[in-house]
Amino acid sequence: MVDLSVELSGLKLDNPIIPASGTFGFGHEFAKFYDINMLGSISLKGTTQEERFGNPTPRIAECTAGLINSVGLQNPGIDNVIKYQIPELEKYYNKKVIANISGFSLDEYKYCCEKIDKCDKVGIIEVNISCPNVHNGGMAFGTDAKNAAEVTKEIKKVTTKPIYIKLTPNVTNIVEIAKACEDAGADGISMINTLLGMRINPKTKKPIIANKMGGFSGPAIFPVALRMIYQVYEAVNIPIIGMGGVASAKDVIEMMLAGASAVQVGASNLKNPYACKEIIEDLPVQMEKYNIKSLKEIIGGAH
């Protein structure tokens, strides 16, 4: 009998599999396909203070082994999420969730985090300072160690729940930024968000995406994510939620060996609504194959 359970800042998960923010909505649609209670947790759609329509269309461009998205943080706003989305999710998901918060200013981050902190259903607040799809958005904070630390420090003043800072890979030194967040009081790190990419249509000779560029995700970025998680694990003493191109149970094991305490699955959900379910079902098989008795015991095992 293998042990799939893991822990994130005191929050116990039955398994490490978490659908990544923006790829699972608020869980409502996926609950029609299977019993989502099998998930370790769910990272909710990125939420801002006000309702956002997002970026103009087209927003999606397919790539080899991945896709580019420029949705632009479309969401119903923090009040709607607390009043309607989370209570609706409670009807068919009985575990704690991860609230993903985005913002365009320090005040907006603080406002949203303070509000969601009072929500019992939320176990962890994931602060997205890494979105590449919005002008003057979170990535302005995520590409500078000093700014990342300031956001972390200010959010910690108004919250009681564990704060995980979601980092962008579009930087020269992600280790420096992760360390700055830890020093400022972050309880954990989520990484990596999407890489910045684009596609051009040879017929029109114009960028496919209306916003020109967007976030590149999918299996193609897995080696980059793995490398960055490995580097950050060696520098910090707080848990890492790993993500970036995860498409199989074997990928999950590899990412945990690099240093992730739990793993988010993103783009795979858009291609296959059963992706997380299939990964969870295959994890015990892969653990037996690699003679792994407990997932907790392999975290950082490649170091």
* Catalytic residue list contains 181: no
d(CA 136, CA 140): 6
- Nearest CA-CA partner of 267 in 230, 229, 220: 220
- Nearest CA-CA partner of 126 in 75, 189, 179: 189
d(CA 18, CA 258): 17
Q: What share of the chain is helix, strand, coil (3-state, %, to 5)?
A: 35, 20, 45
d(CA 220, CA 224): 9
Beta strands in the chain, from DSSP E residues, in sequence order: 6-8, 11-13, 17-19, 60-63, 66-69, 97-101, 122-128, 163-166, 188-191, 195-197, 200-201, 206-207, 214-217, 240-242, 262-265
Question: Is-cis flag, bond preceding 58, omega within 30?
Answer: yes
Say how many Å lie between the first and final Cα of the chain, rounded: 26
- Nearest CA-CA partner of 39 in 86, 3, 9, 4: 4
Amino acid symbol at 243? M
Sign of the four-CA dihedral 286, 292, 295, 299? negative
**Which is the catalytic residue, given 112, 131, 181, 276?**
131
Amino acid symbol at 93? Y
Q: Any idea which residues carry the catalytic annotation? A: 131
